[in-house]
Amino acid sequence: MSVFIDQSTRVVVQGITGRDGSFHTHQMVAYGTQVVAGVTPGKGGQTFEAGNGARIPVFNTVEAAVRETGANASAIYVPPPFAASAIMEAADAGVALIVGITEGVPVQDMMTASALVQDKGVRLLGPNCPGLISPGKSKVGIIPGEITIPGPVGVVSRSGTLTYEAVNQLTQAGIGQTTCVGIGGDPIIGTDFIDCLEAFAADGETEAVVIIGEIGGTDEQDAARWVKDNLNVPVVGFIAGQTAPPGRTMGHAGAIISGSEGTADEKIRTFKESGIAVAERPVDIRDLVKEGLGL
């Protein structure tokens, strides 16, 4: 199975005619994702040529795109100053899943957008995330399809590039994935670790989970405690930023140590106390997953 997306997911791309939106729309269509609409204000009525013979209608608003095409997921590639507004527009239009790829969205803007999304009962992934992919079924975002294969491991990560590294290591070892989810590392995000872990726990085909965290905040500790109390499959963890000095942002905007609980050591300690096998290096994730699955 898979979580959050599958073959039936119908995607509207906000910012489809921009550089990033157009490039990744081609990639999603090539992978087999049902991209059914695009949105660029002022370009409604045009058609976007997405390759593979796909001709995607462009609308001025998400509301019109959803009404005309039945889109139930949105991928957002609009510039940072407008990304929060794009998220809120998608939520108002009734899209069930919003994937915010855009990096650099102002925190104050996200405070407003996050409140609206929660009020609407919509799932937001990101912003500043690589999106998600259910191998062989659908991908929404920028995770390269060629590094994934279908299989029994769920992956959830705050880091984009480490997601790719871990997934590629698994694939090279012949270990496939149910769904790979990048939740993003900004201070304010939508879907968090526990949301993803709950989804994997409910998926009968997910037989192991990889969780990749970073310094800063306490989300990893909260997730570890949830794993200890609720998850009955092997879990492998890795924490990035182990050599980061206090007070310095490393990578994502949220990856900053501002107290003892935000350190890599504290997160690793909580992982181990919760029964999560901790990888010292990204390459060790593969071997620990193999061990957990009895391969």
pLDDT per residue as tens digits for the range 239-275: 987 765 655 555 555 545 555 568 889 999 999 999 9
Q: Where are the alpha helices (DSSP H) in 183-279?
A: 193-202, 219-230, 264-273
Q: pLDDT tens-digit profile of 19-42?
A: 999 999 999 999 999 999 999 999
- What local confidence, expressed as pLDDT, does residue 176 receive? 98
Q: Residue type at 91?
A: A
Task: Tell me the pLDDT of the chain averaged across its residues.
Answer: 93
Is 26 among the catalytic positions?
A: no
Q: pTM of the entire structure?
A: 0.94
| DSSP state at residue 279 | P
Mean pLDDT to the nearest integer, 179-200: 96
Sketch the domain layout of the chain as residue ranges: 10-125, 143-293
Q: pLDDT tens-digit profile of 99-141?
A: 999 999 999 999 999 999 999 999 999 999 999 999 999 999 9
How far apart CA 97 and CA 117 sit, in angstroms, is 10
- What local confidence, expressed as pLDDT, does residue 159 receive? 86
User: Domain 10-125: which topology?
Assistant: Rossmann fold (3.40.50)
- Extract the tokens encoding 241: 């930023």
Active-site pick, 252, 262, 266, 268: 252
Tokens 């081609």: give the residue.
26
- Give, in degrees to the nearest 5, the angle at Cα 258 between 254 and 260: 120
Judge: domain 143-293, CATH 1.10.940.10: no
How far apart CA 255 and CA 253 sit, in angstroms, is 6
How far apart CA 45 and CA 8 sit, in angstroms, is 25
Q: Residue type at 244?
A: A
